[in-house]
Structure 1
Amino acid sequence: MPELPEVETTRRGIEPHLLGRRVVDVVVRQPRLRWPVPGDLGTRIAGRRIEAVGRRGKYLLLRTSVGTAIVHLGMSGSLRVIPQDSPADRHDHVDIRLDNGRALRLHDPRRFGALLWTDAPPETHPLLAGLGPEPLSEAFHGALLHAVAQGRRSAVKALLMDGRVVVGVGNIYASESLFRAGIDPRRAAGRIAAARYDLLAERVREVLTEAIAAGGTTLRDFVREDGRPGYFRMSLNVYGRAGEPCPVCGTAIREAVLAQRNTFYCTRCQR
């Protein structure tokens, strides 16, 4: 599933092509995504200029003067800016056509993505209202993690992936951040000292910043908005490397399942 760096890479890629452009119309070939594409989306957005291209967690926000389109890429979705007359693939479900002859095309083979609309401030939408702070913002820090973790017996990795605690730290980047912080992902969240949470917050920011700079991580379906793959996979220390030697100590990387997600860690470097 595309995680925060992949979504932010997409946002930065499409923003220059969308900002200030007027929407001509919307072509919906397949409305049955994770949630139905609103039938009146074209009526609501046609003739409006895109005033901002934002992101909240893993959601992209296309803001206009009358409302906001909320886009989620699901497990296999991607957005590309293409000429309007480009032939549509069977998984090209929606085109938002612009006044410069180009279109923003939503491609989603598994149809777990979404394209929704809200007239209200997007932060009040049910999908966004309960989200925690952005991990690259000043609102995210070790003291926050330590406070939320008090009394929790669940694994620290599950805490880090809880969108109500912090948004967008998905499976890949949680595994990599915990490795860099030297924390065993299986360790009970409530039994980790404040100083270690300070380090973990720093490593989360570090990993996500590096991943964004590299264009995200290529895992099966994800490609950048221009079709090129992300390259952070080349920097992964533990994720997807079960049985391979740890890059620090040489111990074989272990794999476990935590909160129904595959988890990778080094038994010597992570305590």
Structure 2
Amino acid sequence: MQRSFTDQLNREIVIHYPTKRIISLVPSQTELLFELGLDQEIIGLTKFCIHPIEKFAERTKVGGTKKLNIQLIKDLDPDLIIGNKEENEQLQIEELMEDYPVWMSDIYTLEDAKKTISQIGELVNREPEAAYLNHLITAGFNDLQTLAVQNRINKKVAYLIWKKPYMLAGSNTFIDNILALNGLSNVIKKKRYPEIELNELAQLKPDLIFLSSEPYPFKEEHLEEIRAIIPEAKVMLVDGEMFSWYGSRLVKAVQYLFQLQKELY
């Protein structure tokens, strides 16, 4: 049968329900789909959709999140494509929308992420599984917020995502919201992902500087470079998936963030 759904860009799509041929264009949402119990239905994903790795190996790769192989997607003939406003390129998505039902998410906060999990659960006929994931995420992050208050974690942080040029997660980002839920105040007030020089960052006097493992793969060698210019800050490598993946990875993020908080008080 056919059913209509409204995505997070307020677009209505009509799909054959339940769907049998899904292409996912976002790593965190791909992981979510597998976690919800889908398997054979997922026929294509991006080269960055690496979790779970055994599923990744078995599926057709349709390019990168921002450089999709449109012809390959058309050859796969999906009955549903799932993407994200920030992670996918608008022109490519619009081209796919001409021929296929494309459901898009638009996520800035933990609450947005939980809403997305619920909506994708409904979209792919896995509502109980989605509700259970959201139960775990809600309970875990409530505990994280309580712990942050109890231990008076009230530190200023800068979260670097790129080098040459240095780029940081600013306001109006999912990362910014996850930092705030853990008692951390982002020193970058500009929206989205502004560029910055290290001497400018030093003037903001962050207590902590987090170097993310993605999209730029910061390593130990980068710590000393930043410490030399901002010696007052504690500079740490962090797992970018735990701060920026907004699907079922949030369940694993809870334990990671518990451990991280312990290092901060």
Q: Fold match, TM over 0.5?
A: no
More helix by share: 2
Given the two structures, how large is their TM-score scaled by the length of structure 2?
A: 0.31
